[in-house]
């Protein structure tokens, strides 16, 4: 039996958040998301949390679990001990319980134009890319926008307009794509006071990413591109 | 592919100079420690009289060397202050006065250090 402390907050009823303790029976292979379902079905039907795929693909179930940002659907209860403390992602307003408001995150994402920009005629086939160029995107396309890294970064707290590690990694995903022709715009989008220069290379983002991605390396790549562009005029 | 350069401040130059001055400071401070705190300190009491009377601070080369150290410290320190403020203030236009102010403080501080070090040249 594990004691699960869940952060509770209902803006219509509560002035501030608090924790409710629930007791969840052990079950082999049980994930934190399943433990939350157990609570929802057997103890408290009002508890709020997000999920969709249950397979570590959609990124909706990210939470702060026992001191670390994790995907609740991919975290085994057995790995956490008898006491499990679950909080919502930090640095984003709480809508209710474990559900945070991600509007701002997705607004910033949209501003980066997260799609291939290429106006040249397509021809009768898809746009081709060499295996070497495709390999540059191998890790970058794995980001599921769970926002664990975004919540872990100290500078998304001090500057809520900071683009943040998740979205800078996404920016790099298009910057590094040989089929994308908006290279100058991509570099410029990162080269702002709310962009790559706010990163202090604290590495929190790498530590927490459930997909083992490296936003800091993406940020370093974008910084290099901005410096080259500034001093040599080269856009590459 | 298009070549673009922007003249709008984006944070790039302060970021880059912070790294460059940081790297140079490692060299300058190491040399400073080796010379003053290990080498000279072993010769006797390391105090104001000794520093002002030492050839390093009295020759033109030594003066330039110490002034480079002063410049690096002043720039690196004040640029760090700017960085901290920019980390915390969301609307950067609200602190547009900060960079000119820090330049004034920095130049004044640098000149003051230069003036006092120059006193060593005349044998105080
Ligand atoms: S490396 Fe940069 S983006 Fe990542 S957590 Fe640290 S400051 Fe934030
Ligand atoms: S980089 Fe990793 S932690 Fe950040 S949003 Fe993408 S998958 Fe999540
Ligand atoms: S529910 Fe989709 S990642 Fe966990």
Among partner residues A197, A229, A236, which is closest to B5 by beta-carbon distance?
Answer: A229
Q: What are phi and psi of A139, to 5 degrees?
A: -80, -40
CB–CB of A234 and B10 under 8 A? no
In terms of domains, do A111 and A200 share one? yes
**Ligand 1 pocket mutation pick from A69, A90, A153, A220 by most atoms within 8 angstroms of CB:** A153
- Give yes or no for residue B121 having a pLDDT over 80: no
Q: What is the mean pLDDT of residues B7-34?
A: 90
What's the B92 CA to ligand 3 centre distance in angstroms?
36
In terms of domains, do A155 and A55 share one? no
What's the A58 CA to ligand 3 centre distance in angstroms?
5
In terms of domains, do A96 and A205 share one? no
- Tokens 């790297």 correspond to B23
- Distance of alpha carbon B36 from alpha carbon B46, whole angstroms: 8
On whether residue B1 sits in a domain, the answer given is no
- Tokens 């070549």 correspond to B3
Interface check B6 vs A, CB under 8 A: yes
β-bridge partners, A7 = A19
Q: Following CA atoms B50, B52, B57, B63 in sequence, which dihedral angle do they give, to the nearest 10 degrees? A: 160
Q: Which domain holds residue B109?
A: 12-118
Q: Is the CB of A75 under 6 A from ligand 3?
A: no
Based on C-alpha coordinates, what's the Rg of chain B? 19
- Distance of alpha carbon A122 from alpha carbon A232, whole angstroms: 32
> Residue B99 maps to which CATH number?
1.20.1300
In terms of domains, do A91 and A107 share one? no
In terms of domains, do A26 and A41 share one? yes
Q: How far apart are the first and last CA of chain B?
A: 61
In terms of domains, do A186 and A91 share one? no
Q: Is the CB of A216 under 6 A from ligand 1?
A: yes
Residues from chain A contacting residue B1 (CB–CB below 8 Å): 181, 183-184, 235-236
> Residue A48 maps to which CATH number?
3.10.20.30
Domain count, chain B: 1
- Distance of alpha carbon B86 from alpha carbon B90, whole angstroms: 7
Domain count, chain A: 2
Q: Which domain holds residue A118?
A: 103-232
In terms of domains, do A192 and A114 share one? yes
- Give yes or no for residue B123 having a pLDDT over 60: no
Interface check B45 vs A, CB under 8 A: no
Please give the pLDDT value at position A232.
94
In terms of domains, do A92 and A171 share one? no
Name the domain boundary from A49, A67, A100. Answer: A100
Q: What is the mean pLDDT of residues B81-108?
A: 94
In terms of domains, do A48 and A125 share one? no
Give the closest ligand to the alpha carbon of residue A60.
3
Give the closest ligand to the alpha carbon of residue A171.
2
Name the domain boundary from A60, A77, A100. Answer: A100
Tell me the whole-structure pTM to 2 decimals: 0.89
Instruction: Tell me which residue of A221, A213, A89, A205 sits closest to A155, measured CA to CA.
Output: A205
Which segments of chain A have a pLDDT < 50? Answer: none
What's the B4 CA to ligand 3 centre distance in angstroms?
41
Atom of ligand 3 nearest to the CA of A57: 3
User: Which pair of tokens denotes residue B92?
Assistant: 């950067």
Cβ–Cβ < 8 Å for A199, A155: yes
In terms of domains, do A84 and A196 share one? no
> B7 by DSSP, 3-state: which?
coil
Q: What is the mean pLDDT of residues B51-63?
A: 77
In terms of domains, do A43 and A96 share one? yes
Q: What is the mean pLDDT of residues B19-46?
A: 87
> Residue A168 maps to which CATH number?
1.10.1060.10
CB–CB of A235 and B4 under 8 A? yes
- Give yes or no for residue B46 having a pLDDT over 90: no
Name the domain boundary from A84, A100, A116. Answer: A100
Q: Is the CB of A169 under 6 A from ligand 2?
A: yes
Q: How confident is the model at residue B4 (pLDDT cuts 50, 70, 90)?
A: very low
- Give yes or no for residue B33 having a pLDDT over 90: no
Residues of A with CB under 8 A from a CB of B: 155, 158-161, 181, 183-184, 188, 191-195, 197-198, 200, 223, 226-227, 229-230, 233-236
Residues from chain B contacting residue A230 (CB–CB below 8 Å): 5-6, 12-13
Please give the pLDDT value at position A116.
95
What's the A74 CA to ligand 3 centre distance in angstroms?
8
Please give the pLDDT value at position B55.
67
| Secondary structure of chain A in HEC code, one letter for each residue | CEEEEEEECCCCCCCCCEEEEEEECCCCCCEHHHHHHHHHHHCCCCCCCCCCCCCCCCCCCEEEECCEEEEHHHCEHHHCCCEEEEECCCCCCEEECCEECCHHHHHHHHHCCCCCCCCCCCCCCCCCCCHHHHHCCCCHHHCCCCCHHHHHCHHHHHCCCCCCHHHHHHHHHHHCCCCCCCHHHHHHHHCCCCCHHHCCCCCHHHHHCCCCCCHHHHHHHHHHHHHHHHHHCCCC
Please give the pLDDT value at position A111.
96
Please give the pLDDT value at position B39.
79
On whether residue B78 sits in a domain, the answer given is yes
- Give yes or no for residue B124 having a pLDDT over 70: no
Please give the pLDDT value at position B5.
41
How large is the ipTM? 0.80
What's the A62 CA to ligand 2 centre distance in angstroms?
10
Among partner residues B3, B9, B14, which is closest to A233 by beta-carbon distance?
Answer: B3
User: Which pair of tokens denotes residue A33?
Assistant: 């998301």
Give the closest ligand to the alpha carbon of residue A59.
3
- Give yes or no for residue B50 having a pLDDT over 90: no
In terms of domains, do A59 and A160 share one? no
Instruction: Tell me which residue of A21, A51, A47 sits closest to A33, measured CA to CA.
Output: A51
């Amino acid at each position: 039996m594990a004691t699960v402390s869940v952060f509770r907050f209902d803006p219509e009823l509560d002035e501030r958040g608090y924790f409710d303790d629930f007791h969840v029976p052990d079950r082999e292979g049980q994930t934190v998301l399943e433990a939350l379902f157990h609570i929802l079905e057997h103890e408290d039907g009002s508890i709020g949390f997000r999920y969709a795929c249950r397979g570590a693909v959609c990124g909706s179930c990210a939470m702060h679990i026992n001191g670390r940002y994790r995907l609740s659907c991919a975290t085994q209860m057995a790995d956490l001990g008898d006491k499990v403390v679950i909080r919502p992602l930090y640095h984003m307003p709480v809508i209710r319980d474990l559900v945070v408001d991600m509007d701002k995150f997705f607004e910033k994402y949209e501003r980066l134009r997260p799609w291939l920009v290429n106006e040249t005629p397509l021809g009768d086939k898809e746009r081709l890319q060499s295996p070497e160029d495709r390999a540059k995107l191998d890790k970058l396309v794995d980001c599921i926008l769970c926002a664990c890294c975004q919540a872990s970064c100290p500078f998304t707290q001090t500057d809520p307009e900071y683009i943040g590690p998740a979205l800078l990694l996404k920016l790099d995903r298009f910057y590094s794509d040989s089929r994308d022709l908006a290279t100058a715009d991509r570099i410029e989008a990162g080269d702002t006071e709310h962009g790559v220069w706010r990163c202090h290379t604290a590495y929190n983002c790498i530590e927490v990413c459930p997909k083992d991605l490296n936003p800091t390396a993406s940020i370093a790549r974008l910084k290099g591109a901005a410096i080259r562009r500034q001093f040599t005029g080269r856009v590459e | 592919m298009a070549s673009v350069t922007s003249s709008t401040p984006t944070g790039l130059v302060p970021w880059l100079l912070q790294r460059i001055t940081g790297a140079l400071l490692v060299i300058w401070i190491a040399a400073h420690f080796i010379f003053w705190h290990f080498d000279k300190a072993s010769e006797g009491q390391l105090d104001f009289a000794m520093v002002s009377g030492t050839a390093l601070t009295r020759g033109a080369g030594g003066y330039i060397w110490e002034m480079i150290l002063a410049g690096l410290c002043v720039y690196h320190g004040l640029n760090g202050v700017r960085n901290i403020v920019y980390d915390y203030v969301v609307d950067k236009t609200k602190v547009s006065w900060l960079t000119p102010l820090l330049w004034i403080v920095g130049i004044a501080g640098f000149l003051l250090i230069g003036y006092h070090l120059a006193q060593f040249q005349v044998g105080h």
